[in-house]
Amino acid sequence: MATKKDDRSAADIISAAFDMNRRRKYEVVIEGRHIYDLYFKPITRADRLSVQGKAGTDEAIKMSTYMLIEKAEKENGEKAFSIGNVAELRRWPEYLLNDIELFLFGVDADGNPTLEEAKKD
């Protein structure tokens, strides 16, 4: 039996394999109490370029804060934060922001892929 030839481009084939609407849930826990759930879709290069433009810099701390604002969603899919929340987010404890942002970027504190992300490889 002959194999059907796929005339799509490599980019189209690879893009079709991703579910860009798949979200991961981050549970905000403070002092042992569940406070809130944040949801994140995968980060794309387009997201990075957009955030860099909004932040006006490629400085890591500003970029990660703006990426959090851009990508964090409520359970119902609405944005969890707006640009108006930047000052408030900057007053949160660093450990909390770091933990959320590491989850968002899918890496551990050393910059290595998390177990969840590594399983995908």
Residue 11 maps to a domain: no
CB-count burial class (<10 Å; 0-12, 13-18, 19+) for 42: middle
Residue 52 maps to a domain: yes
Written as one string, the DSSP assignment of 21-46 is T--EEEEEEETTEEEEEEEEPPP-HH
Q: Domain total for the chain?
A: 1
pLDDT tens by residue, 36-77: 999 999 999 999 999 988 888 888 889 999 999 999 999 999
> Which residues constitute the domain of residue 34?
21-118
Backbone conformation region of residue 48, classed left if phi is above 0, alpha if psi is from -120 to 50, else beta: alpha
Q: What is the mean pLDDT of the chain?
A: 87
Residue 72 maps to a domain: yes
pTM for the model: 0.80
pLDDT band at 5 (very low <50, low <70, confident <90, very high): confident
CATH code for the domain in which residue 82 is found: 3.30.2220.20
